[in-house]
Structure 1
Amino acid sequence: MKKTFSWLILLLLVVSAAFAYWAFQPVLSAGSELKGGDFSIKAGSGVRSAARQIREGGVPMDPFMFEMLARLSGKANKLKAGSFEFEANETPIDLLTKIVNGEFSHASLAIIEGWTFQQMRNLIDAHPGLKHDTAGLSGKELMGKINPDYQMPEGLFFPDTYLFAKGSSDLQIFQQAHQSMLRHLDEAWKARNTSLPYKTAYEALTMASIIEKETGRASERSLIAAVFINRLKVGMLLQTDPTVIYGMGEQYKGKIRKIDLLTDTPYNTYTRAGLPPTPIALPGIASLSAAMNPEKSVSLYFVARGDGSSQFSDNLTEHNRAVNKYQR
């Protein structure tokens, strides 16, 4: 009897040692061609289901052994749902700790200054690391979920690089970018030159979006802002091509014709006075700042020189000379 008991103790010790050795050895062998990868655990999964999902996600680890490790360590009920990344040098105990601590794998996307909302949405809709909960929603429906105070989404999202846990809802990115824009807009509005002809911060945001699209050189941003502000003050048409292009939508094929300048749309600043009804792009901080605090200038015109810079003029005679020199 004692001999049998001793053998059982010895067997238990051997099994425990083997299990401990397994738990602290790297999941991937030194000669493995695998270098690591991602796996996901669905919400509501128990430890057995989670272990199976880890294996199905490409981690070459025995699900039963991982389940036993989680149970014996008292962490079976502490597993987090989400996407995780495993690396070649990680052990099963490392992976368990990562899952329990919620150390999710991350991805990022960059929204570029001057993009339209549609360009931003196309990027988000195509990102494989996001859960696409907003797919099929109209812009108005999307804003209803984010901020019902606005109906049109254009201009209301801040261009930046956003980091997120893989598998996150795309709604999270929209909410984060929107809140970031509201914060930057509020800061710029509070620091604005109060003599400017804006009734609301939204009007200033619209102006910032025009400045963003018109600026060829960053150093000229505040001068371009001054031209448009001066035009608003004296009641001149803004006559800015980017608004015409925005109003044309899919009809724009890369070139503006004379008929396009004469065709009225809510965004045609050659046919309608004042600012367009909404922003036309996503402006960055520099354009917000320029819209709120333009350079002191009496210029009413500018024309592209062809090298990315612009020639500014105070009157139509000077402007016509500049057009003849640089455009004709």
Structure 2
Amino acid sequence: MRFLKQLLVFTLLSATLAAGWGVWWLNTPLTLPDATRAEAPLDVTITPGSSARAVARQLVEAGVDTPSSVLYAWFRLSGHAREIKAGAYELALGTTPRSLLDKLVRGEQALRSVVFLEGWNIREVLAALRASPDLTQDLEGLSMAQVMALVGQPGRHPEGRFYPDTYRVVKHASASSVLQLAAQTMEQRLSEAWAQRSATTPLKNPEEALILASIIEKETAQDSDRAMIGGVFSNRLRIGMRLQTDPTVIYGLGESFDGNLRRRDLERDSAYNTYIRAGLPPTPIAMPAMASLLAAVRPAETRALYFVARGDGFSQFSATLDEHNAAVRRFILRR
């Protein structure tokens, strides 16, 4: 009888010690690789369809210095083993087993920002993707036709098809997935803008709206001028007057443009030379933001047919050639 009492006491003491150790372990920071101590988080990828046992193994293989059997036991005892979500995670110094499981169950994956700026062309977009160290580069070596097919836009010219914005994506997401998201966003924004078009717009379809919006985007950074510029170009399109806009000519010059637009450039024929050819160019020339999309489809009601940069970031608008020439003398020639 005395032996049984001693055994019971020993068992209770062992259980108490085990429980105490368990509570201590759950709230004690996990041992991570030394590189993590330099404030570089530990990357961990949990593959889709992984069991709790496989998740524990993947964590240890990534560098978590704890027996996978202990992690697995914790996942099972927590009752949340089936709720762990696949994805790319970062473990910082100080991560405990408890906070680790919370992160995995909530699916708090490591996110990164990719920024596309208004007015960028496709070369600048691709350069931004290549410059991101946190993306999986899957566009290298592909032609533009192959890139467009990969992002769900087969047969389309790439210019202007991606909406300028800041995109939050999972770390190690593919570059093509970011492009696909930006393309889908542009389709949505363009559709929203086209649904708000003026009844008197000379534009025939959303494609023409996108082209005109891209020109407006390159002509001004001032929101207050966008609708007026849209009005000038709409007036010109209605009467068959050439748009005569420098940004289309510059786009047509491509990488050969050295920052100085010369008279010979304005006289050289190309599909994008709106000084020589009437109507809109064949494709967008840049990525327009929503403000430019709306300015294209809902232009200001104005008699203006001309505008010139004032030198302060804004434009001077004129209804007649004489007024425009006077504005050129004042703001450009300083006479």
**Is TM-score (shorter-chain normalized) higher than 0.5?**
yes
Matched, 1:39 2:43: yes
Distance of 1:34 and 1:144 partners within structure 2: 42
Structure 1 residue 255 corresponds to structure 2 residue 291: no
Is the aligned partner of 1:154 residue 2:127?
no
Mapped to 1, the partners of 2:232 and 2:16 lie a distance apart of 83
Tell me how far 1:63 sits from its aligned partner. 4.7
**Sequence identity, in percent?**
43
- Cα offsets for 1:244-300 (capped at 9, x unmatched): 111111101111111211222221112221111110111111111110111111111
Given that 2:44 and 2:91 are in contact with CA atoms closer than 8 Å, whether structure 1 keeps it comes out as: no
Give the match for residue 178 of structure 1: 183
The residue matched to 2:41 in structure 1 has which SS? strand
Question: Structure 2 vs 1, CA of residues 325 and 170 (structure 1 numbering), >3 Å: closer, same or farther?
Answer: same
Give the TM-score taking structure 2 as reference length: 0.85
Shift of 1:195: 2.0
Among 205, 211, 216, the alignment partner of 2:210 is 205
Contact 2:216 2:296 in 1 (8 A): yes
**Which residues in structure 2 correspond to 1:229-308 (within 5 Å)?**
229-308=234-313
Structure 1 position 26 matched with structure 2 position 29: yes
Q: Is the 8 A contact 2:216 2:229 kept in 1?
A: yes
What TM-score, normalized by structure 1, do the two folds share? 0.87
Could you tell me which residue of structure 2 aligns to residue 192 of structure 1? 197
Q: CA deviation at 1:98?
A: 1.7
Runs of 4+ with >4 A deviation: 1-13, 32-36, 44-53, 55-64, 71-79
* 1:43 partner letter: T
Q: Secondary structure at the match of 2:199?
A: coil
Moved more, 314-323 or 9-18: 9-18
- How much does 1:4 deviate? 8.0
Q: Choose from 118, 134, 148 the match for 1:143.
A: 148
Rounded Cα–Cα distance in structure 1 between residues aligned with 2:265 and 2:110: 48
Change (3 A) 1:35 1:127: closer
Q: Please, which moves more after superposition, 157-166 or 134-143?
A: 134-143
CA distance in 2, matches of 1:138, 1:273: 31
State how far apart, in whole Å, the 2-side matches of 1:142 and 1:187 are. Answer: 26
Q: 2:62 & 2:47 partners in 1: Cα distance?
A: 15
Instruction: Give the whole-Å Cα distance in 2 for the aligned partners of 1:151 and 1:136.
Output: 19
Instruction: Select 2:104's aligned residue among 99, 103, 109.
Output: 99
Match of 2:20 in 1: 17
Residue 331 of structure 2 corresponds to 326
1:35 offset after TM fit, Å? 5.4
Q: 1:120 aligns with which of 117, 122, 125?
A: 125
- For these two proteins, the number of residue pairs brought into alignment is 326
Q: Is the 8 A contact 1:106 1:166 kept in 2?
A: yes
How far 1:6 sits from its partner (Å)? 7.3
Is the contact made by 1:47 and 1:67 (CA closer than 8 Å) also made in structure 2? yes
Superposed CA offset, 1:76-119 (max 9, x none): 66643322133455321220232244221212122211111221
Q: Give the corresponding residue for 2:90.
A: 85
1:260–1:61 CA distance, 2 compared to 1 (3 A):
farther
2:160, 2:286 within 8 Å by CA — same for their partners in 1? yes
Q: Aligned-residue CA RMSD in angstroms? A: 2.9
Distance in 1 (alpha carbons) for counterparts of 2:164 and 2:132? 16
| Alpha-carbon distance between aligned partners in 1 of 2:101 and 2:155, rounded to the nearest angstrom | 44
Offset, 1:150:
4.8
Q: Is the 8 A contact 2:151 2:177 kept in 1?
A: no
- SS of the aligned residue for 1:107 comes to strand
Q: Is the 8 A contact 1:83 1:166 kept in 2?
A: yes
Checking the alignment, whether the CA contact within 8 Å between 1:139 and 1:151 is kept in structure 2 is no
